[in-house]
Structure 1
Amino acid sequence: MDVREGNNYSLLENFVLNASLEILGKRFQGRDFFHDYFIFRRETIYALHPFLEEQKINLLKKIAIESGLKNEKIDEVSRMFCTGSSLFSLELYVQLNELKKFYEFFDKLLQSDEKLANILGEPKILIDLWDHQKEALQLWFQNGGKGIVEMATATGKTMVGLAAIQVLYKSRKKLNVLVLAHSKAILRQWRKEAISKLGLIADPNDNYNTSIGYGNKLRIEFNTMQTVYKNPGVYETDYLIVDEVHHGAGKEFRNALNVPCKWKMGLSATIEGGERESVLDQYLGKTVYEFTLEKAREKGIIPEFKLYIHKNFLDVRETVEFYLITEKIVNLLNFINSTQKEEIKLISNGKFSSFENLSDFVHLMANSRSKSDQIPAEWNSLSALLFSRRVIIHRSSPKIESAINLAKVVARNKKCVMFTMDIETCEKIYDSLSSYVNTYHVHSNLKEHQNNEELDKFKKCSNGVLIAPKMLDEGIDIPDAEIGINVSSSKTKLQLVQRMGRILRKKPGKKPVFHHFVALPQSFIDPEDSFNYLNDLAWIQDITLKMGITSEIYDADTIAPEDVKTIQELEKRSEEVACRYHAKYDKITSNEFGTIRIKSIVDSIEQEAKVKLINLLDNWDGSISDEQWIQILRASYDDESMVSIPNHLWLLIIAERKPENIVHLLQKYNN
């Protein structure tokens, strides 16, 4: 008998059903069991008949929630048996009886088709919120339904925005919602999440700008900041959600935040910079809740992970090109200093008449955009040279080849996400990998439907690699990728955290690994290059301490001894440059990361920990390595695994890695 044929399947189902009933009848002991079950089966079939398969499951979930049940019970039963079948009804009936919820559930199931359709159409969160999501929602409402929720990537900020829809709809019974984001891909994901998590009736594969809702009672619309900022008044709504809200701080798009509305929620992984914060406060309200990456690790929201650092030198051609451009930069900076003192004085408003270093030049250029007509041609040429040199680092062949070789191995049986600086590098890696492993790519030069198809294929595959420049930095959920490979230098901590967040989403049996690639030139312009390289390392150490993890050089034992020596000398010289600069200016400044002050680092160490830290250092003999520094800091916090001391590596560097110098700085800058 072929059980796959319809009639044979029914015969088999009836056989299993009767056998199960006989066993369960003895277990429950009584005629009521059979009588109640057959009524329940009949009414379940009648109640579910008008609805599609997915709608049936969502309806049962919503009834389960209203009956005080975990909706996971419906998932459990639907995974075992076809929804609405006799065996499905039997298993659900048994589960409800064991949980003593049968009559509550059955009463709600017996409602009219119209009332059942109302239950199905109304928004209801179909998963349990985490405690931090509940707290964020509560604080947002306490602030009058306005404000920004900052939550680390992979900790469920989307659910906070959706949960507010449920609460607002329940109190008003009519609600219009507008979701704003800077990316169509993010909006497409929001639309899918709203349908699945709120149990709404809509096709999740429709275009991102197709609204969803329930009759004339609920309408959820989705649009880009790039569209709305032109005329925000025509997009009036009740509840405005702005995802990745830091994009709205830019002068170009902040007008999009003027959409007329009663409630507004901004969502972001984190917001960096005082001006950005003040702009967003003005338009959306203050930050009402913060949930950091380290808090997420501490509470088990995201899993433990491993962090590997890959250091690669430029190849011969790149080294020569880098050196030649470096010479041109030095010569042009000297020329500007010797021949354009008056111009420097004029544009800097009399602050200085020559550039002490490249940082001075870069900062002045960044702050002089309104004086572009006064900028000498040589200054623009110098800026172009700096950019050209940076591109060499970003596109370094050894770095990219090393990442490709790694992906060839790990993507055979795991899912990987690779981040690149630009589309050109993305395409190069795609071409190199596509004949070895399942390879997918997304970027802005592809059409929207092509990007959507690539993302869907990657989500469905069991192994392979997804490559992207910046599209994956924010908001796009890749739930079962577990290897991250970053070959693009991150200009901000936010970018690095967001990239890590793409692989940190918790899933049973998943152990994420993040590989961060760094390209090293052998000729630096001091101090700018030294600072940028050291700060790359400082970011890694920040994450290591905050997340309670270890970071290590990948395959350190395979690196040639001469390369190890060169790297050590490079880092030593960079640290010496940093010490001399700090001794002169009492700060470290760079265009890449802004200004770092030792006082700010010292202030971020808790007073009690500071006392313990000084005691530990008083008893320490000899120079302190990065690994030893992490151990000492954790020991000063009573061996807490996760400690937040931003830029702590700079304290070690400025102290020349000497314990007595660290103690001196701690005492000097202590409040």
Structure 2
Amino acid sequence: MPVIRFHEGTLILEDWDAKDAPPYFRWDHRQRIWRAMALYYPQILAFFNKRDVKVRDEAVSFTRLDLRPRMNFELHFYQKEALDAWESAGSRGSVVLPTGSGKSYVALKAIEMVNQSTLIVLPTIDLMNQWYDLLTDSFGTEVGILGGGYHQVAPITVATYDSAYLYIDRYGDCFALLVFDEVHHLPSPKNSHIPQMSIAPYRLGLTATYRRLDNRQRMLDPLIGRVVYRKTIDDLKGEHLSDYEIHRLSVELAPQERNEYQAEKEVYEVYVRESGVRYYGSRWERFIKESAYDRHARRAMVARTQLRRIIWGSERKLDLLESLLKRHHKERVIIFTENNDLVYRISQRHLIPAITHHTRTVERKEILDRFREGTYRMIVTSKVLNEGVDVPEANVAIILSGNASPREYLQRLGRILRKKSGKKAMLYEVVIQGTDEVGISYRRRRDDAYV
């Protein structure tokens, strides 16, 4: 009788005597055995069952869970609809809900429903720690950790994307359900190996920002399933998310900054025009390489850096920030910038706690805890708080600089949308008139939330 086994992130089929090649398998000439991607495990079993082909399945190492939920909570209507849609799609697919709408509670119910060993994959250690606390509080069971210096595998395990990638060839047969939080991180060349090397028949993706600028979200359909449910910020604001306002404020460069900006812009644009540089693909990569040894490319790269520095740190932009901080001095404010130098500059200028990727875990936790309790009313950060921060007390966000991605801006808006009684969120976007920042602002507002 043919035997299916899991082997280092793949499936192997032994004792196959039929003349026809088995579906999804290819002949491995090195080891002289039939081998298939672990991803296709459910389809392979379905094929054999349909053809009434007897096989011995030794690939599975799933564990039945004995869950005793300790948190009694009622799902909102949209969470119930999302869970039903996921189950109707064969317990596969992605749920797209705004930040602050309770995507994690959909996942908790999915884990209860499947009731088998589960791996939850997160993009950051902070998010992994939050999920660890949520799972232990919810189910009162041992939760394993892969990442952040831990290597402890249990029937329910949390892992960073990096650690899951490193060990999925070893544990790809152990989990029946894969939950990918912030699933837009999954379709990268590296992370996509995680679902490919797992036999998990059940897969759930969670995100507030499904689309990617490179359109690689299309890869998610074969990896975990299609989008089965979607709600936008506008669908839920007011009753389930805080109502919000968006204010776009414009300032001009000071005369000296304007002169410097025009001079650097001319240097950069002349080089781009003459060399045919594009902002993507091989030509952009070549420009970066050439800037290391070609003086003209190097000067153009310096000009580009100077342009960004002028736009991001304009004195009039910082003067406007000071006015906004005075206006909202009694509220909880998060200031977002694009680079760390400006974070520290604002921190020193206004004596505001700063969080960057250099901030140690203990210090970061202390700052966020004091922000939640009101000891600190303002914090300034770059990109590290875009994802995975639960601060329902925050109600004002000031975006001084950012990239053209709608995802980043939805994430930053989401930081202040968590529902709290009597709360109205306010987002300020500060843009320099007559600069490339105007076009960047236009491109990142290509979402209904910014209409």
Alpha-carbon shift at residue 493 of structure 1 (Å)? 0.9
Matched residues in 1 for 2:255 and 2:326: separation?
25
Aligned with residue 335 of structure 2, among 393, 405, 418:
418
Change (3 A) 1:373 1:166: closer
Correspondence 1:491 to 2:404: yes
TM alignment of 1:403-482, pairs within 5 A: 403-411=321-329, 413-434=330-351, 439-461=352-374, 464-482=377-395
**CA separation in 2, counterparts of 1:192 and 1:517?**
37
Equivalent residue, structure 2, for 1:574: none
Deviations 1:10-69 (CA, angstroms, capped at 9, x unpaired): xxxxxxxxxxxxxxxxxxxxxxxxxxxxxxxxxxxxxxxxxxxxxxxxxxxxxxxxxxxx
Report what 1:178 is aligned to.
119
1:544, CA displacement in angstroms? Answer: 6.5
Map 1:354-373 → 2, pairs under 5 A: 361-363=277-279, 365-368=280-283
Find the partner of 2:131 among 186, 190, 198.
190
Q: Superposed, which structure 2 residues align to 1:646-661 within 5 Å?
A: none
| Match runs of 1:216-231 below 5 Å | 219-231=155-167
Q: For the residues of structure 1 that align with 2:439 and 2:284, how far apart are their CA atoms?
A: 29
Q: How does 1:66-465 map to 2 (within 5 A)?
A: 122-123=68-69, 125-169=71-115, 175-196=116-137, 198=138, 200=140, 219-236=155-172, 237-260=175-198, 261-273=200-212, 275-297=215-237, 300-333=239-272, 336=274, 361-363=277-279, 365-368=280-283, 377=294, 378=296, 382-411=300-329, 413-434=330-351, 439-461=352-374, 464-465=377-378
CA distance in structure 1 between the aligned counterparts of 2:120 and 2:106, rounded to whole angstroms:
13
Higher relative contact order, structure no. (Cα contacts within 8 Å, ≥ 6 residues apart) = 2
Deviation at 1:129, TM superposition (A): 0.6
- Alignment check: 8 A CA contact 1:177 1:240 kept: yes
Deviation, 1:383, is 4.9
| Structure 1 contact 229–257 (Cα < 8 Å) conserved | no
Letter paired with 1:398: R
3-state SS in 2 of match to 1:473: coil
State the secondary structure of the residue aligned to 1:305: strand
What CA distance in whole angstroms lies between the structure 1 residues aligned with 2:220 and 2:266? 43
Contact 1:440–1:458 (CA<8 Å) still a contact in 2? no
The CA RMSD measured in Å over matched residues stands at: 3.2
- SS of 2:204's partner is strand
**2: CA distance, partners of 1:368 / 1:538:** 22
Q: Distance in 2 between matches of 1:123 and 1:406?
A: 45
1:125-145 CA distances to partner (integer Å, 9 max, x unpaired)? 522111111111111112222
Alignment CA distance shift 1:471-1:509 (3 Å): same
- Residue 223 of structure 1 aligns to a residue in which SS? strand
Structure 2, unaligned runs of 5 or more: 1-65
Letter paired with 2:346: I
**CA gap 1:403/1:143 in 2 versus in 1, 3 angstroms:** same
Between Structure 1 and Structure 2, how many residues are aligned?
Answer: 377
Give the Å deviation of 1:381: 5.1
Amino acid at match of 2:345: K
For residue 491 of structure 1, report the CA deviation from its aligned partner.
1.8
Cα distance between partner residues in 2 of 1:467 and 1:382: 31
Matches within 5 A, 1:20-39: none
Q: What are the Cα deviations for residues 495-527 of structure 1, in whole angstroms up to 9, with x where unaligned? A: 111111111111111111111111235xx5xxx
Q: Which of 529, 533, 552 lines up with 2:438 in the alignment?
A: 533
Q: Distance in 2 between matches of 1:393 and 1:373?
A: 21
Q: Is the 8 A contact 2:233 2:449 kept in 1?
A: no
Whether contact under 8 Å (1:188, 1:208) holds in the other structure is no
Q: Secondary structure at the match of 1:144?
A: coil
CA deviation after TM superposition for structure 1 residue 195, in Å: 3.5
CA displacement at 1:405 relative to structure 2: 3.8
Q: Is residue 257–residue 310 contact of structure 2 (8 Å, CA) maintained in 1?
A: yes
- Identity rate of aligned residues, in percent? 22
Say which one has the larger Rg: 1
SS at match of 1:446: coil
Report the alpha carbon displacement of residue 421 of structure 1 after superposing the two structures with TM: 0.9
Contact 2:119 2:177 in 1 (8 A): yes
CA distance in 1, matches of 2:203, 2:149: 20
Superposed CA offset, 1:357-389 (max 9, x none) = xxxx324x5344687899794556545533431
Counterpart-to-counterpart distance in 1, 2:316 and 2:195: 44
Q: 1:314, 1:328 → 2: CA distance?
A: 19
Provide closer, same or farther for how the CA distance between residues 369 and 315 of structure 1 changes in structure 2, counting only shifts above 3 A. closer
Distance apart, 1:177 and its partner CA: 2.0
Q: Tell me by how many angstroms 1:269 deviates.
A: 0.8
Q: Secondary structure at the match of 1:475?
A: coil
Using the TM superposition, give the Cα deviation of residue 256 of structure 1 relative to its aligned residue in structure 2, in angstroms: 3.1
Q: Which amino acid aligns with 1:366?
A: G
Aligned to 2:385, what secondary structure does the other structure show?
Answer: helix
Question: Could you give the per-residue CA deviations for residues 92-132 of structure 1, whole angstroms, max 9, x where no partner exists?
Answer: xxxxxxxxxxxxxxxxxxxxxxxxxxxx9613552211111
Secondary structure at the aligned position of 1:229 is classed as: helix
8 Å Cα contact 1:210/1:221 also seen in 2: no
For each residue in 1:587-618, what CA deviation from the matched residue of structure 2 results, as whole angstroms up to 9, or x when unmatched?
xxxxxxxxxxxxxxxxxxxxxxxxxxxxxxxx
Q: Which has the higher helix share?
A: 1
- Which letter does structure 1 place at the counterpart of 2:68? E
- Taking a change above 3 Å as real, the CA distance of residues 253 and 508 of structure 1, as seen in their structure-2 partners, is same
Kindly state the Cα deviation for residue 470 of structure 1 after the two structures are TM-superposed. 0.9
Q: Which amino acid aligns with 1:536?
A: S
Q: CA deviation at 1:329?
A: 2.2
The Cα of 1:396 is off from its aligned counterpart by 2.2
**TM-score (normalizing by structure 2):** 0.74
1:409, 1:423 → 2: CA distance? 25
| C-alpha deviation, 1:440, in angstroms | 3.1
- SS in structure 2 opposite 1:230? helix
